[in-house]
Amino acid sequence: MLQKLNKTISYFKKINPPAPKVGIILGTGLGGLIDDINVSYAIPYDLIPNFPVSTVQGHAGKLIFGYIGDIPIVAMQGRFHYYEGYSMQEVTYPIRLMKLLGVETLLISNASGGMNKKFSIGDLMIIKDHINLQPDNPLRGENIEDFGPRFPDMSQPYDLELVKKAEKIAKKNKIKIHKGVYASVSGPNFESPAEYKFLSIIGADAVGMSTVPEVIVARHMGLPVFAISVITDLGIDGKIVEVSHEEVEQAAMKAEPKLTTIIKQLIKDL
C-alpha cells in the first residue's frame, strides 16, 4: 500500500494542486456542492495512478481540488463501495491519500434509508455513531504503524465539536435536522422489511452501503470526521414501498441545497 500511495503522491506532486485542509466525500445525488467550489483541478479517477474508478450512477468519478471561501479543499465527486467488487483497502484508499496530501478534517455525506419513525424523506441526519455490518474491515491485515495503531479507539468516531457547529448552522438557517446512528451494510440490494426491523431493533436510525469503512480509516489516521445522511427512502413499517436507485438519487438531489448550506458554512467555521 505504501508503494502504491507513494506513486499516487508523485503524480500529484507533478500537478501541484493546492494543498487541501478539508476532505469532502459526496455521496449519491449529492455532487452539486461542486458548483460552490472555486475549482483548480478536476481530475477523473481513471487518470490517477492506483485509484479505483466509481461505477455507480450518480457518482461522477472526479477528484476536485479547489477552494470554498479561502479554505483549500479536495472533494471526491463519487465514492467507492464494497459491493462494486473492490476490497476494503481499495474503498478507503482515497482517505489514506487525503491524509497524506495534508487534509486535517474529513466531511462525509451519504444517501440512506431511515428507520426512525420521526424521519421523512428529504430529512437530514447527523451521524452521531455507527454500527458496522460490513463483511470486511479496511484495517484487516498487517498494520502500518506510520498510519495508526493496531487497535484504534472508536469511542468517539464522529467529532463532537463539528456536530455542535453543524447543529447551530442548521438552526440558524431553519433546516430540520436529526441526530442518529447509521448502520453500514454491504448492499447492493435494498433491505427487506424484516431487515429494516432488525436494524431498528439493534439501534440504527438509518442504513446505507458506505461511510463506516471511510470513517474507520480516517480515525485510524487521526482525522476528525463529520458525517451526515440524507434520508432518501423509509424502512418504517407501513411506509415501506418499492424503491429504485433512481428514486434515491432524485430524493438526494432535492435535499441537496440544505446539505450544501451546512457543509459550506461548516468549512468556513473551521
HEC sequence for the chain: CHHHHHHHHHHHHHHCCCCCCEEEEECCCCHHHHHHCEEEEEEEHHHCCCCCCCCCCCCCCEEEEEEECCEEEEEEECCCCHHHCCCHHHHCHHHHHHHHHCCCEEEEEEEEEECCCCCCCCCEEEEEEEEECCCCCCCCCCCCCCCCCCCCCCCCCCCHHHHHHHHHHHHHCCCCEEEEEEEECCCCCCCCHHHHHHHHHCCCCEEECCCHHHHHHHHHCCCCEEEEEEEEEECCCCCCCCCCHHHHHHHHHHHHHHHHHHHHHHHHCC
Give me the pLDDT at residue 27, please.
Answer: 79
Give me the pLDDT at residue 55, please.
Answer: 63
Read off the pLDDT of each residue in 161-178 and give the average, rounded to a whole number.
97
Read off the pLDDT of each residue in 135-154 and give the average, rounded to a whole number.
96
CATH H superfamily, domain 2-268: Nucleoside phosphorylase domain (3.40.50.1580)
Single pTM value for the model: 0.94
Q: Which of 78-92, 99-113, 236-250 has the lowest mean pLDDT?
A: 236-250
